[in-house]
Chains A and B, each alone.
Chain A
Amino acid sequence: MCRDCKCSTSVSAPEHTHAHEHEQPRRAEQRTLAVHEHLLARNNHQAEHNRKLFRAKGLLVLNLLSSPGAGKTRLLERTLSDLGQQLRLGVIVGDLQTDNDARRLSDRGAPVVPITTGTVCHLEAEMVARAVEQVDLDALDILIIENVGNLVCPASFDLGEELRVVLLSTTEGEDKPLKYPLAFKTAHVVLLNKIDLAEVAAFDRQAALENIRRIAPQAIVLEVSARTGAGLELWYHYLESRCAEWRISRSAATVLH
C-alpha cells in the first residue's frame, strides 16, 4: 500500500490497470498475459510523491552520487559551513553502516538526518520519504541527499530530486565516466573533486574532461577541491542561482494556478 495515496503498490500504467489476455493459448489452459509494468514502479511512484511534496514546498532537492571515498561528506561539510549563512540547507545522509558521516555534518547548524541502509547498496524513494518527516521542510531552501557511496545502483533509483550531482575525484582515474556511464548520463552536474591531488595521482585532466564531455554532454562540469576550497565558489554560485531560479519558477507556477 502506498503511504501517500493508499493506492496499490503494484502500480500499473493507466492503460494497463489489469492484465489482458491474448488469444495465443500454448496448451488448452495456458495463456499469455500482457503486463507492461515497470519493475521499479513502486520506487518511481514514491519518487513522484516526493517530487510533488518538494515542489509544493519550493524546495530544491539534490541527489549526490559518487564512489566510496570520492569526498561527498567533505564537500558537504564545507558547503554547509560556507553557504549556511546565505541559504538554509538540510542534508539526508545515506550509509550502509554507521552514522559517522551524519555526525561529521551535524555540528554545522543544519538539520542532518542519517539513513542507515544495512545491506542495501542505494537509497530508495521510500527511505527518503521517511527521512524528510524528521525535517521541517518549510525552513529549508535546499535539501541535499548524500547517496550511498556507489556509482552503480543509486543511478537507477529516482528519489524525487530535481538535480543529480555526480562527484568524481582525481584519485579514481580519468576513465570512471566510461566505466559507470549511467550515473554520468543522468547527471546535471559533475564535480571533479580533489584537484589539489591531481599531480600526485598522475591524473590526466584533459582526458578526464574529455571523457565526461563525451559521456555526459548535458552536464555542467566544475573542478573543485573540497579540502582546500579551490573552485568551490563556482559550486556555491551554481547552488545560489539554481535556488533563485527555482524560487522564481515556483512562485510563477503558484500565480498561474
Chain B
Amino acid sequence: MHELSVMANTLEIALDQMRRQGASRIHVITLRIGELSGVVPEALTFAFEAVVIGTPAEKARLVVEVVPVLCHCPRCGNEFHPADVIYQCPTCAHISADVRGGCELELASLEVS
C-alpha cells in the first residue's frame, strides 16, 4: 500500500509541469498503470482524492489507463496477453518469464489551463 506516496509524487511532478507551462490549473491527470506495476488503480484513485485537496489540481479528474501484461514466448516467438498470473503461451503452452509490457507506472499526460 504505497499508493499514497506514489500519488503524492505524481502530484509533485504534475504541479511542476503545470508551472513550467505557465498554467495555473490542472483539469485532467492521465496515468498509465501496468497490470504488473504492483499498484492498484482503485487505491490510487482513493489516494488522489486525498492529496489534491487545496492544490491547483483539486478539481482535476483522474484517468487511469490500465496496460495489460504483454509476454514474449521464448520457445515459439509468439507475443500474448496472459489470461492470469501464470504467463503460459496460448500457442505452445510454454511458461514465459519474458515480460515486454505491463510494468508501466507513468504520468502520461495532463490537461491544464
Give A contacts to B, CB under 8 Å.
10, 18-19, 21, 26-27, 29-42, 120-122, 152-153, 155-156, 178, 181-182, 185, 213-218
Contacts and interface: CB of A to CB of B under 8 A. Distances in A.
Nearest to A22: B109
A40 B2 CA distance: 11
Interface of B: 1-2, 5-6, 9-10, 12-14, 16-17, 20-21, 23, 27, 31, 36-39, 85-86, 88, 95-97, 99, 105-113
A197 B78 CA distance: 42
Nearest to B74: A217
A39 B107 contact: yes
A215 B110 contact: no
Given A34-B109, A36-B106, A39-B10, 12 more contacts: A18-B20, A21-B21, A30-B27, A33-B17, A35-B106, A39-B31, A39-B105, A42-B9, A156-B37, A214-B95, A215-B86, A218-B97
A35 B13 contact: yes
A35 B2 contact: no
Contact of A178 (B31, B85, B99): B85
Given A26-B111, A33-B112, A216 B97 contact: yes
Contacts of A153: 1-2, 38
Contacts of A156: 2, 37-39, 105
A122 B2 contact: yes
A156 B27 CA distance: 29
Given A30-B112, A33-B112, A182-B36, A40 B86 contact: no
B99 to A, nearest CB: 7
Contact of B112 (A10, A31, A121, A215): A31
A30 B111 contact: yes
A37 B107 contact: yes
